[in-house]
Structure 1
Amino acid sequence: MPLEADSRLRYRLIHDQLKSAIALGNIAPGLVLLEGPVARIFGTSRVPVRKAFEMLHAGGFLHTFEGRGYLVAHPDGSMPQPLRMPIAEDTLGFDRPLEPLDIPSNSERIYDSLEATISLGIAFGHFRIDESHAAEAFGVSRGTVREALNRLRDRGLVEKSAYSHWLCGPLTARAVREDYELRALLEPAALRASAPSLTRAQLDSALRDIERAIDAPDSVDAAALHKLETTLHDTFLAGASNRKLLATISHAHMPLIVNHAFYDAFHLHPEMGTLTEHRGIIAALLRGDIDSASDALAKHLQQGEMRTRQRLKVLAVLPDPDLPGYMQRIA
């Protein structure tokens, strides 16, 4: 399917389903809709969700407001008070989980592969990414590759030189330290702001996931660990209303992305310390002790920095991974 048809069909499906649910009154007026949670429910990226939101806003079904995201409009057109709560299928008026929209665009098809390759590569050195070679390797246009790389630039994984070359790496101990210092300052504050919006069911579910991982850590692969990390460092913080705060935190998540690539490439399992620290944070939130949860998150990030820097030392003595030809090492 051509890229244009892919993208149009995806955002149109999201738009139509949300529009119907709002029109039927199945979604509470004032509910705050954010791109990330809605994208996870539909099994898609944020790009088509953003387009669907824009269309719904233009049609009067959503309102903008001073906070992050959009408000679901009241049937009479008045501006309701913001209603912040975790987003699930039933919150959006759907009585059963939605099937993922299995119609990825060309850019989305190559994004995960590019992210994994670049994340692994930067732990081993400094690279230039050749657009033409990448387009040939993936069987897509250079514009498609450029679109994916622009998304990766937003995440801090690649940069563009003064000569318009795409560059990535190296991931240094200093870069890791600076990212973790930033996260240690901002994530506890975001958790304090977001904690009141977390539900008991949401916290209980997260605790069950962690307990299962602690009971059988060898069963936790890179994907499962990444889901646990995303729950703590993304979902649990998403209720904070300061969008600039959350954007800054997201840009400092490069070590988290690289750790995922590291675990995936070498088929590793999480350290017990990582899992027990997660459990301590969730347990404090379940007790309603936000101060302790925030302090525990700060300590978890300090330990995470130490673990990540130790992994960099391990990587220094390992042979380079087998990277595709579009990753060209810079001496």
Structure 2
Amino acid sequence: MSNNKTSSIDQSAPRYAVIETLVASAIESGTLPAKTVLMEGPISKLCGTSRTPVRVALNRLCDRGLLLRFEGRGFVVKGDGPGDPVRTALTHAMLGLSEEDSADPAPVTSQRIARDFETVLVHALPFGRFGVNEQAMADHYHVSRTVVRELLSRLQDRGLIDKNRRSHWIIGPLTAREVAQYFAVRSKLEPLALEESAPRLPATEIKAMWSRLQSGLDQGSDLSSDKLEELETDMHVRLLAGSSNGHLMRMVHQSQLALVVNRVFASFIGTGPFNNSLREHAIVLEFIMRGAYQMAAQALEEHLHLAARRTRQRLMTLSVFPEPEFPRYLVKRVP
């Protein structure tokens, strides 16, 4: 990073947080003037990253009131006074970057590869049992085996990967029986966490979740898989995050492995079949906004019962699709 405002950014922060800080600083300093239209693509190119962290950052800035939604796709810098939104070619300087800079905070290598590896893992789970070759994985990501082991160990704590008796890393398969068992646990634990968490969450955070959900419902079958994942995170992660029971939350997170079926299903089929699920999300949030937390917990439990049946059906549907091509570090194992 050059010796400018980017030098004060926490280099260990997630990419979306770095981009959020950059854009907010640019707005406050005036290098991004009011009424400037902002789109994901140009910012991701300038920042040297994918669109996903840019999307998260812009949505957070919108929630903070620094940006307004523009034509349903982009955002515009909020500002008073007359004048139409201005489309302009963004430059590094407008974001406080030199041409050699990017908003990529260069986090530790295990963080850098974690998202990509988890995506690969998620798509592999419904298609059988796979072994993970540490050296091949290290070669694939150009990191040391120490970094790979650190990442695999963290994912093991989350229940996404395991070791067999010979200490080989193993993932999958995710079966219909396991999905049913995971949902049986979730339907008891998540409502319990919700009742404790929801009263502690700021009203502004609940309102932001409601706004995102309504936007998702309005998009219907045009809802992106990234947006669907964000709405699922709202319901099953952010709404529960206020719980102070660490043991409960650890069990909740480990039982949420079945959520990966929805992520894979959306990537193959699209997000249209999730409309009923999102309407059930709305019922939960409506109860929370009314302060009816016990009713919200009951609505969440009912949602999870319905979701269990839908998820098992989706898992069966995935079985008819050809197995995707996975990186060489994943080795198919005979059951």
Give the TM-score normalised by structure 1. Answer: 0.69
Query: Does residue 1:124 correspond to 2:127, yes or no?
Result: yes
The question of whether the paired residues in 1 share the 8 Å contact of 2:265 and 2:318 is answered with no
2:172 to 169, 173, 176: 169
Please tell me the residue identity of whatever aligns with 2:125. I
Distance of aligned partners of 1:95 and 1:206 in 2 relative to their CA distance in 1, 3 Å threshold: closer
Task: Name the SS for the 1:216 alignment partner.
Answer: helix
Task: Name the SS for the 1:13 alignment partner.
Answer: coil
Q: Distance in 1 between matches of 2:282 and 2:220?
A: 14
Task: Name the SS for the 1:167 alignment partner.
Answer: strand
Distance of aligned partners of 1:14 and 1:134 in 2 relative to their CA distance in 1, 3 Å threshold: closer
The question of whether the paired residues in 2 share the 8 Å contact of 1:160 and 1:167 is answered with yes
Q: Distance in 1 between matches of 2:157 and 2:164?
A: 15
1:156 to 151, 155, 159: 159
Question: 1:245-284 to 2 correspondence within 5 Å?
Answer: 245-284=248-287
> Which residue does 2:208 correspond to in 1?
205
> Which residue does 1:226 correspond to in 2?
229
The question of whether the paired residues in 2 share the 8 Å contact of 1:128 and 1:168 is answered with yes
Please tell me the residue identity of whatever aligns with 1:132. Q
Query: Does residue 1:104 correspond to 2:107, yes or no?
Result: yes
Task: Name the SS for the 1:164 alignment partner.
Answer: coil
Q: Please tell me the root mean square deviation across aligned C-alpha atoms, in Å.
A: 3.0
Q: Distance in 2 between matches of 1:206 and 1:187?
A: 17
Q: Distance in 1 between matches of 2:245 and 2:191?
A: 13
Give the Å deviation of 1:259.
2.2
Question: 1:16-31 to 2 correspondence within 5 Å?
Answer: none
Task: Name the SS for the 2:131 alignment partner.
Answer: strand
Instruction: Work out the number of aligned pairs and report it.
Output: 254
Give the Å deviation of 1:103.
2.0
Identity of aligned residues (%): 34
Q: Distance in 2 between matches of 1:322 and 1:135?
A: 19
Please tell me the residue identity of whatever aligns with 1:284. F
2:294 to 274, 291, 297: 291
Query: Does residue 1:308 correspond to 2:305, yes or no?
Result: no
Task: Name the SS for the 1:132 alignment partner.
Answer: helix
> Which residue does 1:133 correspond to in 2?
136
Which ranges of structure 1 fall in alignment gaps of 5 or more residues?
A: 2-8, 16-37, 45-87
The question of whether the paired residues in 2 share the 8 Å contact of 1:122 and 1:168 is answered with yes
Please tell me the residue identity of whatever aligns with 2:250. A
Give the Å deviation of 1:267.
4.4
> Which residue does 1:13 correspond to in 2?
10
Please tell me the residue identity of whatever aligns with 1:303. L
The question of whether the paired residues in 1 share the 8 Å contact of 2:223 and 2:272 is answered with yes
271-280 or 131-140: bigger deviation: 131-140
Q: Distance in 2 between matches of 1:118 and 1:106?
A: 18
2:244 to 241, 244, 261: 241
Give the Å deviation of 1:199.
2.5
Task: Name the SS for the 2:252 alignment partner.
Answer: helix
Query: Does residue 1:147 correspond to 2:155, yes or no?
Result: no
> Which residue does 1:24 correspond to in 2?
none
> Which residue does 1:214 correspond to in 2?
217
Distance of aligned partners of 1:112 and 1:265 in 2 relative to their CA distance in 1, 3 Å threshold: farther
Give the Å deviation of 1:200.
2.3
> Which residue does 1:181 correspond to in 2?
184
Q: Distance in 1 between matches of 2:124 and 2:168?
A: 17
Q: Distance in 1 between matches of 2:318 and 2:221?
A: 22
> Which residue does 2:81 correspond to in 1?
none
Task: Name the SS for the 2:325 alignment partner.
Answer: coil
Please tell me the residue identity of whatever aligns with 2:129. H
Question: After superposition, what is the alpha-carbon deviation per residue over 1:174-229, rounded to whole angstroms, capped at 9, x for unaligned?
Answer: 11111111111111111111121123222222111111111112332121111111
> Which residue does 1:325 correspond to in 2?
328
The question of whether the paired residues in 2 share the 8 Å contact of 1:193 and 1:239 is answered with yes
Task: Name the SS for the 2:186 alignment partner.
Answer: helix
Give the TM-score normalised by structure 2. Answer: 0.69
Q: Distance in 1 between matches of 2:16 and 2:241?
A: 15
The question of whether the paired residues in 2 share the 8 Å contact of 1:179 and 1:255 is answered with yes
Which ranges of structure 2 fall in alignment gaps of 5 or more residues?
A: 2-6, 20-59, 68-95, 97-102
Question: After superposition, what is the alpha-carbon deviation per residue over 1:93-136, rounded to whole angstroms, capped at 9, x for unaligned?
Answer: x9989x97722221112111111111111101011111111111
Distance of aligned partners of 1:117 and 1:263 in 2 relative to their CA distance in 1, 3 Å threshold: same
Q: Distance in 2 between matches of 1:43 and 1:320?
A: 36
The question of whether the paired residues in 2 share the 8 Å contact of 1:131 and 1:142 is answered with yes
> Which residue does 2:27 correspond to in 1?
none
Distance of aligned partners of 1:43 and 1:219 in 2 relative to their CA distance in 1, 3 Å threshold: farther
Please tell me the residue identity of whatever aligns with 1:159. D
Q: Distance in 2 between matches of 1:312 and 1:223?
A: 20
The question of whether the paired residues in 2 share the 8 Å contact of 1:42 and 1:101 is answered with no
